[in-house]
Structure 1
């Protein structure tokens, strides 16, 4: 892909990162959601700040799960600012809302083999989501959403924050509580991205991301196991495209702590256990995420 190191939007996102060394094709960054990822809050306005640091340990060679020889490392730090408004209206029996994600990013790349040494800061591609639907049962929550990642950020340098193309993202997920007191939960959240063409006419294949969690509450504190997987589901097209498809899988842990009513902190660490590159080199590394949820 053109140059996507870690990030997107996700959303939720939610955020895009550097498009040079593919996180798999697309904008959405896996690992930004954790426990109860498919649970939509009640009516109101919410801010979720995702502070993410992705440490690149190596680059996978195109079409393989083997590292490219040499010193190829980097870091991407992003603050994805997500704004959610649950309107209080109902659509198809679900709570209806809208959302937007504005990522701020700092990318530093030192890839000796391809001869890249670059550091940039800036605003990444913005996500606009006009449809968020949340359903609630006695021991379950479900979500469906749709939106677009805009081609709004710079792509002029290897570490620039933009991807250079638009993506349509569809979301679906389920949170299930194993006990009536809702102290034990499992969740799975799926994001599907259909990527557009960049200025050179290259189009990255579509991508599916699944984030999952299994969590237990210990009084006000919650701890759990989290993970994510990404798969490229269709072939790239354009000059330089191949039939190879990228994928990655990670495992980690999360801790959730309520600081005050309407304010919670979440921290998580993910280690990527495997990664296979598609048409372009693919970064492999580890991710640390600290997020804050504030209800207004």
Structure 2
């Protein structure tokens, strides 16, 4: 009875868990994974960044608030490769990137699960500008519909549609020593029509932010959060005017791993005031290594 109620509510609100990853607003990008200084492009070189993300679903939210409690989880390990070239364009450092994600979805409330390689992202354009006390980034790329998608399985790792993602963000350093910083990184997502359902998710905009302080021992601590809005209603058969929102606040710690010549960052977020989508808690680790 409870499962039937939750699934019916999800359909009524246009949550479409089969159409969107549970921990993104309504597209592909998962807010909160970059955190402090996310808009600051690193120096020339080849970088690997591995992300471990755990999202625990506590409830499903409507415009008015809780529909019901809902148990579920998403575990993802994302592999991101970034190459910053020695080339300049419009005064900016030029780079490119690729992301491949292994994902495990377990939606107890929907009695469905799936695991495998999700949709792949290719970003042929990253531009990074740098000043004495600021960094700015612009990027463009596309999430390709490469993961396995099943319209009858709410937990399918593939989303069944592609997403063009545009990125704009900046980091401001309050002092010349760059000990204090505030960063904001935004992603605008434009989706294609979903296979089988003929539905097209509406455009969305996500911002993740962090206020950070570097301590004397090199460890950086930050107050962090993310906010996301679906700007347009979904279009196509069996859609509604419901739009999704996602909000979270949390904390992040970043410290150097000197024996590996790497950097490790961890963050925890608690979501609040979500609309027409799941709500829960997100835990993230990422390790960055330059080659």
| TM-score after normalising by structure 1 | 0.89
Q: Answer yes or no: is 1:57 the counterpart of 2:58.
A: yes
C-alpha deviations, 1:7-30, integer Å up to 9, x for none?
xxxxxxxxxxx8365743110001
**Which residue is 2:286 aligned to?**
291
Check if 1:164 corresponds to 2:166: no
Name the CA distance, whole Å, in 2 between partners of 1:41 and 1:2. 37
Q: Deviations over 1:132-184 (max 9, x none)?
A: 00000000000000000000001123222111100100000000000000000
Cα distance 1:20–1:45, how it changes in 2: closer, same or farther (>3 A)? closer
Quote the residue 1:40 is aligned against.
41
Partner of 1:143: 137
Structure 1 stretches of 5 or more lacking a match? Answer: 5-17
* Partner Cα distance (1:262, 1:174) in 2: 25
Q: Tell me which residue corresponds to 1:27.
A: 28
Asked whether the equivalents of residues 139 and 179 of structure 1 are also in contact (C-alpha less than 8 Å), the reply is yes
Question: Do the aligned residues in 2 keep the contact of 1:2 with 1:20 (CA within 8 Å)?
Answer: no
Give the distance between the partners of 1:48 and 1:20, measured in 2 at CA: 21
Q: CA–CA distance in 2 between the matches of 1:285 and 1:211?
A: 17
Instruction: Give the distance between the partners of 1:139 and 1:104, measured in 2 at CA.
Output: 37
Q: Conserved in 2, the CA contact under 8 Å of 1:2 and 1:163?
A: no
**Counterpart of 1:180 in 2: which secondary structure?**
coil
**Superposed counterparts of 1:277-288, under 5 Å:** 277=276, 282-288=277-283
What is the root-mean-square deviation in Å for CA atoms of aligned residues?
1.4
Distance in 2 (CA, whole Å) between partners of 1:19 and 1:117 is 17
Q: Is contact 2:138–2:169 with CA below 8 Å preserved after alignment?
A: yes
Aligned to 2:17: 3
1:241, CA displacement in angstroms?
1.7
CA gap of 1:72–1:216, structure 2 versus 1, over 3 A, is same
Equivalent-residue separation in structure 2 for 1:22 and 1:271 (angstroms): 12
Cα offsets for 1:102-154 (capped at 9, x unmatched): 0111111111xxxx212221001000000000000000000000000000001
Change (3 A) 1:190 1:283: same
Counterparts of 1:224-239 in structure 2, within 5 Å, are: 224-239=222-237
How high is the TM-score relative to the length of structure 2? 0.90
Distance 1:293 1:65, change over 3 A: farther
Contact 1:50–1:81 (CA<8 Å) still a contact in 2? yes
2:209 aligned with 1:212: yes
Deviation larger for 214-223 or 261-270: 261-270
The aligned residue for residue 7 of structure 1 is: none
For residues 232-286 of structure 1, give each alpha carbon's deviation from its aligned partner in whole angstroms, at most 9, with x where no partner exists.
1112101122222111110000000101173000000000011011xxxx11000
User: CA–CA distance in 2 between the matches of 1:247 and 1:60?
Assistant: 10
Aligned counterpart, 1:176: 172
After superposition, what is the alpha-carbon deviation per residue over 1:75-117, rounded to whole angstroms, capped at 9, x for unaligned? Answer: 1110111000001100110000110000111111111xxxx21
Partner of 1:10: none
Counterpart-to-counterpart distance in 1, 2:24 and 2:80:
21
Query: SS of the residue aligned with 1:26?
Result: coil
Q: Which has the higher helix share?
A: 2
Summarize the Cα distance change of 1:268–1:65 in structure 2 as closer, same or farther, 3 Å threshold.
Answer: farther
Structure 2, gaps ≥5 residues long: 1-14
